[in-house]
Chains A and B, each alone.
Chain A
Amino acid sequence: MPRKSTIQMSALGAFAILSCLLFMFYKIGGSWSFALEERGIKLAAIGLTAVAIGVSTLIFQTLTQNRILTPSVMGLDSLYMLFQTLLVFFIGSNNPLMANKNINFIATLILMIAFSFMLYHLLFRRERVSIYFLLLLGIVFGTLFQNGSSFMQMLIDPNEFLIVQGKMFASFNSVNGTVLGVASIVLILSLVYLAFWFKYLDVLRLGKDQAINLGVPYFKLARHLLIIVSIMISVATALVGPVTFLGLLVVNVTYQLFDTYRHKVLIPGSILLSIIALVFGQWMVERIFTFNTTLSVIINFIGGAYFIYLLIKESRG
């Protein structure tokens, strides 16, 4: 790693730790053990989400050779919402599938992963499938799911709708220890799986043809990377709700900070930036806005402002 990257990475790491400390100890009063446990679980959930979103968006963009796509185009967020709406619509919000967080998490996770596997299994029976064809299908499915959920949301009881609405926004408030354990295991397994393919990621940046020329088993690699991305997105979404909006921002800031194509720099960079964005965002939601706004609003606001700043800076330079 070049020296400049090392310094930047250390600074980012220090900043991430500082923001975590702030999150853990700011205005801590009353029972320390209770507060620390509660905040600790939230922080762990944030860390997990940060890894899942940062890594999956990065490898998704490397695979698609596109800096403005996020894995949300695969329609997994919409599938998540559809599933939650279906549950409320047909069996009501009191059913354990909806009311019990552990059961809801496991069921959602299994469904999302199963859906991705089914989709890819059907598609990849033909040996060479264009990535863009897959994305197009993802968009079509996503729109279908979204419209399906909107339709049902119109019909249900307003009180039930509030429950569904609560699921529409990413939130770290409903995470508990059991759910966290399962999510970490799945995430760690997918990271181990990714390690097998890691060496090919840099070459993939050269484009499909060059990657094939240099001996990358491209079609196999694309298949496995998409499965890894799906699993990671599923874990994050089932854990805290739709959060893919974060990926686009974080990964692009990572490219901006670390002017490199090397994934051994980009991946840790995007994880650290995700942690900073999420911890700060959540801290602001809780302490400054006292839960009057949602995390995505804050992150999108700051991210949008940053992009406008970049545009202005570039156009002057």
Chain B
Amino acid sequence: MIETKQITKRYQNKTVLNAIDLEVPEKQITAFIGANGAGKSTLLGIVSRLLKKEGGEVLIDDMDINEWKSKALSKKLAILKQNNQMTARLTVEDLVSFGRFPYSQGRLTKDDHEKVDEALAYMGLEPLRKNYLDALSGGQQQRAYIAMIIAQDTDYVLLDEPLNNLDMKNAVQMMKTLRRLVDDFGKTIILVLHDINFASCYADYMVGLKNGEIVAQGSTEEIMTSDKLKDIYDMHLDITEINQCKYCLYFK
């Protein structure tokens, strides 16, 4: 289980996260939502140990994140950020193989190769496995990174804005894949999402942040109401329901 206690983060004198207490439900998709600068990505960064915090603690399976050994934690929790700056020229297969690094430390066993093949197949990347990443489209690259995370085979998967730069079709595919990871493999996924409607359709649990504090959290059903969303976004949003899924229309 992922749990945070009184997490505080400051940049110089500006407090970006203030005493965040959170328990992330197991084997569900949890979406962090909120306006720009609310602290969503920062919170995800701290939970995944990429960012340092000024106070509080993050507990992964009841153990403080700082107590975990790097190697052990990398078999437990995976993080994928949006902008993956990379200077190396890799093929899709190379990248996905890196997902096995926590287990093999670079020397892939037969078991590792099987996991890599499975991950490639799962993301439909077999035809592209020998292609270089820099020759792929944004959507294909994103799929390759997700395949790497799948090969890493962790209980917790943290994704920072996984839908950025994806078109409608790719975005829907991505969310369906994530949904299957939870339903079929029992993963726990935490996402930062900008599109509230994607969150509404695919997430089980929502955490609304505003100015570095959690202003609302609960099941998707509970959060998708005009009142709660007004607390999070400071604007009035009408909710409509189509095919048992709630959408909010905010375009006008």
Contact = CB atoms under 8 A, between A and B. Distances in A.
Nearest to A65: B87
Contact of A261 (B78, B80, B90): B90
Interface string B84-104: 111111100011001101100
B129 interface: no
A134 interface: no
Interface in A241-286: 259-261
Contact of B52 (A66, A128, A206, A259): A128
Contacts of B4: none
A215 B87 contact: no
A205 B70 contact: no
A66 B71 contact: no
A209 B70 contact: no
B73 A205 contact: no
A215 B73 contact: yes
- Size class of the contact patch on chain A: 20 to 34
B88 A216 contact: no
B49 A212 contact: yes
In terms of DSSP, what is the predominant structure of the interface of chain A?
loop
A261 B88 CA distance: 6
Nearest to A208: B50
Contacts of A66: 87
A254 to B, nearest CB: 13
B84 A210 contact: yes
A134 to B, nearest CB: 17
A209 B74 contact: no
B176 to A, nearest CB: 24
A316 B87 CA distance: 23
B124 interface: no
Nearest to A66: B87
Instruction: Pick the most buried of B49, B70, B85: most chain A CB atoms within 10 A of its CB.
Output: B70
Given A67-B87, A203-B98, A207-B85, A215 B75 contact: yes
B87 A209 contact: no
B81 interface: yes
A216 B86 contact: no
Nearest to A215: B74
Contact of B86 (A128, A207, A212): A207
Contacts of A206: 84, 86, 88, 95, 98
A66 B85 CA distance: 11
A209 B81 contact: yes
Interface in A163-213: 199, 202-203, 205-207, 209-210, 212-213
Nearest first, the 8 closest Cβ-Cβ pairs linking A and B are A215-B74, A261-B88, A205-B88, A215-B71, A215-B102, A214-B101, A217-B70, A215-B70
Interface of A: 65-67, 127-128, 199, 202-203, 205-207, 209-210, 212-217, 259-261
